Structure 1
Amino acid sequence: MFILFLFSLLLSQHYCAEVYNITSSQPLAQGQTLVSPGRIFELGFFSPSNNSENNKYVGIWHKNIYPQKVVWVANREKPIAAADTLASLTISSNGNLELIDGIQSTVWSTNISVPSNTSAAMLLDSGNFVVKVNIEAADQLWESFDYPSDTLLPSMLLGFDSKSGKRNVLTAWKSESDPSTGMFLVGLTPQVPSQVVIWMNGSTPYWRTGPWDKSKFLGVPMMDDEYQSGYFLHDNEQQGTKYFSYNILDKTVACMDITSEGILKLMDSVNGENWNLHWAAQKNSCDKYGACGPFGVCTASESPTPICKCLKGFVPKSDEEWSEGNRTGGCVPKSVTLRGKGDGFSKMVGLKVPDFHEYITSSDAEECKIQCLNNCSCLAYAYVNAEFSFLSHAVCITNSFCQMKEIE
């Protein structure tokens, strides 16, 4: 009987370590975790790299997939001291969700207007951490999906609202042991068609996907090449919103994240137990933005130094820089004399569409070609047949001299 009693007591303690909502009367203490209804996601206190000597944070991770990948962090800029065992996550007297330390000081808060202190916080099976007016309410007052960390989960939105100025971006951790904001940021550009860009230090382009073709980004060949691939670009001109999202159609668990080294990865878990790498950006030295400069072509190799060459009719801008291994200055046109043959095009395959482009509608590739010839600023065109989307790209620097800014 004693053994049975002890067994039931242990079960009871284990059950108490998991809760399904946070209220003013039921805070989340260290040693407890908030679990989504289907036991897919879990929220709790953690130390990066599982080092008990590190500072502590509140984060979300998949409950049963290893290695553990933290997909959202609440207090990434304000850690809790490793020795503080009394910190907790609770609903405050003003109805906000707050992280308080051992001396009852607020470390992090949702900082919203809440009608009463009857509000409750819960974790959904999507991985979205939400605050509602009460446990039974349908609408959310606040949700973590509006404040991404370094990870984009299925149904999360990456993009912007041009009217309000709000942007949903991913920001890398500073390092594997420090979830504070690092040097890499991932966002969606407002141009048409849009592309996803990794910026370094907030503004310097580091990598880009190439333009969207209605089913995938042209510069990411690892993406599925089917219209029903699970990738979506939601563009609402009237509302001024543009967002990228994805959903894995075969119900595979997935997450897309930016590492502290600036690599964008999509990982999935078919068996729901282990992570597999589906695709990753920055596969080689040519993936870096502008590796060979304007009018330069980069050939992929395993070497850390990109293999560059100039387009036909162009020469290195600086022979000295190229001989020293610096090719970022790119190429310039050769001095040539036209012999009455007029303008023409040289066909190139396997290249990422240049960064600066103009979106036009054409019936076929020949019309696209004619429109480019009739435009003094057009240097090249790319015809993309994907749900009737077409691309023509060029940049005019002045009325008399036009230059393609970037080709990778």
Structure 2
Amino acid sequence: MATREKGLINPIFMLILAFLCSHALYSSSVAATNTIRIGDEVNATSNLVSENGNFTLGLFTVSSPNSSYFGIWYTNDVQRRKVWVANPNSPITSSSGVLTIDSTGTLKITSGGNTIMLLSAQNGTANATATLEDSGNFVLIDGVQRTLWQSFDHPTNTLLPGMKLGYNLTSGQNWTLTSWLSDYIPASGAFTLTLESDGESAQLVIHQRGELYWTSGPWSNHNFMYTSELISPLNTYQYNLHLFSSGDWKYFTYDAVDASLGILELSSNGQILDGANNLAVSDYDFCYGLGLGGCVNKVLPGCRSQRNWFQEMSANFPGALSSYDFNSSLSLSDCMERCWNDCNCVGFANANNGTGCILWSGNIEFQIDNRGDALKYVLAPGKPSKGKTWIWAVVAIAIFLCLLTLGALWYKRIKKSRIEGEERKRQKENLLALTASDSLNHVNDVENNGRKGHDLNTFSFASIAAATNNFADENKLGEGGFGPVYKYTQ
């Protein structure tokens, strides 16, 4: 009996083992693939990786609040900055999120069997597939390779090489960037980046809460007026910028030059950052309404001047008055606006995970905190010396060299004029010596050698050279037995 039971157990054990192995192989194949089909899933234990490994699509979690999102990032980016988020305003409150294609060919996000978000329309196609391409584009296609939906048409806060920023009036498509609420929370923040055109020229425009904040200046010579650092040879990453238009559509795009992390990110502070986190546009953390570098000029509060700004530093305000607002929809830029417009405010910071506001006010002093865990923005009296300081240094050196060159040329010209003047004076003196009777030397004035004098005049060699224009050929009359004969010229 025992022998028979053992014989039954072995086939059952083998079936279970085979199922587990096949399931493991299937899971690993999903994790390593770049494509999902109807019924396939991307979840907390599986990712999509583009064919050449450039990009990864997967589930990531924000610890506070405990929310999950599906996003795309450069595979080799150690910071794992998300270049696209599928559900920025529809977080999953657990790690049970699933990205899948249902039986109708619809790409969607679910959690616990409940639909969180539909990414594509319900197309009713039974053979749809979604592929993560090496460009970073996540594309849903049908059986005849027709594009049903793509992530490049729904950008979040980052423009990748090849993505568009602009509009198509015929299709109604608008490509815009929207900043994150904070560096940690991908929900829509305070800033949007768009391409605007008056028909002939075009420029990039940033709005803050719907109000004009920054403009790039008009497009000219393959660049915008205030985006020169994007093509600067001194930048870690360099870009070729392009502007295309035809009829009802116009868009801006770019390609990266030898850059493995081609990124143009609209940060939660309204800055445009490149792949090295360098400021690609603005010098400072905020615009302040001072009209510098494309920032829109605004009327300053009566208590602020063009020399005021907020400096990020690790500091504390012992005994200071503070006010808190834990509104999770407030970004750091909202806190800055509140403090900037409050004449009693001397510093601000976020209240929690990059959201909410803490404001400090009063005539107080701050203490430096070298631990680095008390970052705040403190009102400073003068302009910062960061950003494009090197540009001013180059300009100053160029001006100095220009003045030095002009000074050298001026000195050379003055010296030449003085030499020529002295030469002309010497020639006049020699000519005067040749023509003035009182300057001629009679041969009889020569020391008496015991012989009878002669009625001849003597002249210096310099006066004769001056009178004949240095024995010029045009003054030569001919030659005799005693040599060439020259005529005198006044």
**Structure 1 length as normaliser, TM-score?**
0.61
Please say if 1:129 is aligned against 2:138.
yes
Distance apart, 1:293 and its partner CA: 6.1
- Describe how 1:377-388 pairs up with structure 2 within 5 A: none
Quickly say closer, same or farther: Cα 1:138–1:16, change in 2 above 3 A.
Answer: closer
Please say if 1:282 is aligned against 2:282.
yes
Match of 1:291 among 290, 297, 320: 297
SS class of match (2:269): coil
Instruction: Tell me what 1:43 maps to.
Output: 57
Q: Which amino acid is 1:30 matched to?
A: A
Would you say the 8 A contact 1:217–1:223 is kept in 2?
A: no
Please say if 1:233 is aligned against 2:240.
no
Quickly say closer, same or farther: Cα 1:229–1:164, change in 2 above 3 A.
Answer: same
Distance apart, 1:292 and its partner CA: 6.1
Would you say the 8 A contact 2:30–2:48 is kept in 1?
A: no
Instruction: Tell me what 1:401 maps to.
Output: none
Please say if 1:250 is aligned against 2:264.
no
Give the distance between the partners of 2:306 and 2:55, measured in 1 at CA: 39
Give the distance between the partners of 1:147 and 1:210, measured in 2 at CA: 25
Distance apart, 1:222 and its partner CA: 1.2
Would you say the 8 A contact 1:47–1:57 is kept in 2?
A: yes
Distance apart, 1:165 and its partner CA: 3.2
Instruction: Tell me what 2:99 maps to.
Output: 89
Q: Which amino acid is 1:95 matched to?
A: G
Q: Which amino acid is 1:257 matched to?
A: E
Match of 2:69 among 30, 54, 57: 57
Q: Once structures 1 and 2 are overlaid, which stretch shifts more, 113-122 or 173-182?
A: 113-122
Match of 2:118 among 103, 109, 119: 109
Instruction: Tell me what 1:260 maps to.
Output: 268
Give the distance between the partners of 1:169 and 1:195, measured in 2 at CA: 13
Q: Once structures 1 and 2 are overlaid, which stretch shifts more, 37-46 or 107-116?
A: 107-116
TM-superposition CA deviations, 1:24-79 (whole Å, max 9, x none):
2322222110111011101111013xx38620011111111111110111111111
- Describe how 1:132-281 pairs up with structure 2 within 5 A: 132-134=141-143, 137-191=144-198, 192-202=200-210, 204-224=211-231, 230-237=240-247, 240-250=248-258, 252-267=260-275, 276-281=276-281
Q: Which amino acid is 1:167 matched to?
A: N
Give the distance between the partners of 1:133 and 1:263, measured in 2 at CA: 38
Distance apart, 1:230 and its partner CA: 1.2
Quickly say closer, same or farther: Cα 1:61–1:118, change in 2 above 3 A.
Answer: same
Give the distance between the partners of 1:42 and 1:232, measured in 2 at CA: 27
Would you say the 8 A contact 2:36–2:130 is kept in 1?
A: yes
Instruction: Tell me what 1:78 maps to.
Output: 90
Instruction: Tell me what 1:402 maps to.
Output: none
| Alignment: residue pair count | 276
Give the distance between the partners of 2:59 and 2:293, measured in 1 at CA: 37
Give the distance between the partners of 1:15 and 1:24, measured in 2 at CA: 15
Q: Which amino acid is 2:115 matched to?
A: T
Quickly say closer, same or farther: Cα 1:205–1:52, change in 2 above 3 A.
Answer: closer
SS class of match (1:179): coil
Would you say the 8 A contact 1:20–1:122 is kept in 2?
A: yes
Quickly say closer, same or farther: Cα 1:302–1:124, change in 2 above 3 A.
Answer: farther
What is the RMSD computed on CA atoms of the aligned residues? 3.0
Give the distance between the partners of 2:258 and 2:150, measured in 1 at CA: 26
Who wins on radius of gyration, i.e. which is larger? 2
Would you say the 8 A contact 1:96–1:117 is kept in 2?
A: no
- Describe how 1:299-314 pairs up with structure 2 within 5 A: 303-304=309-310
Quickly say closer, same or farther: Cα 1:16–1:92, change in 2 above 3 A.
Answer: closer
| Greater relative contact order, per chain length (Cα 8 Å cut-off, separation 6+) | 1
Structure 1 unpaired stretches of 5+: 1-7, 268-275, 306-323, 325-349, 351-408
Give the distance between the partners of 1:229 and 1:128, measured in 2 at CA: 19
Distance apart, 1:189 and its partner CA: 0.6
More helix by share: 2
Distance apart, 1:129 and its partner CA: 0.3
Q: Which amino acid is 1:158 matched to?
A: L
Distance apart, 1:16 and its partner CA: 5.3
Q: Which amino acid is 2:114 matched to?
A: S
Q: Which amino acid is 1:123 matched to?
A: L
- Describe how 1:336-355 pairs up with structure 2 within 5 A: none
Give the distance between the partners of 2:298 and 2:151, measured in 1 at CA: 40
Structure 2 unpaired stretches of 5+: 1-20, 312-342, 344-390, 392-490
Give the distance between the partners of 1:302 and 1:68, measured in 2 at CA: 35
Quickly say closer, same or farther: Cα 1:147–1:19, change in 2 above 3 A.
Answer: same
Match of 1:29 among 33, 36, 43: 43
SS class of match (1:195): strand
Distance apart, 1:205 and its partner CA: 1.0
Distance apart, 1:304 and its partner CA: 4.8
Instruction: Tell me what 1:404 maps to.
Output: none
Give the distance between the partners of 2:28 and 2:146, measured in 1 at CA: 31
Instruction: Tell me what 1:372 maps to.
Output: none
Quickly say closer, same or farther: Cα 1:64–1:229, change in 2 above 3 A.
Answer: closer
Would you say the 8 A contact 2:226–2:294 is kept in 1?
A: no
Quickly say closer, same or farther: Cα 1:211–1:91, change in 2 above 3 A.
Answer: same
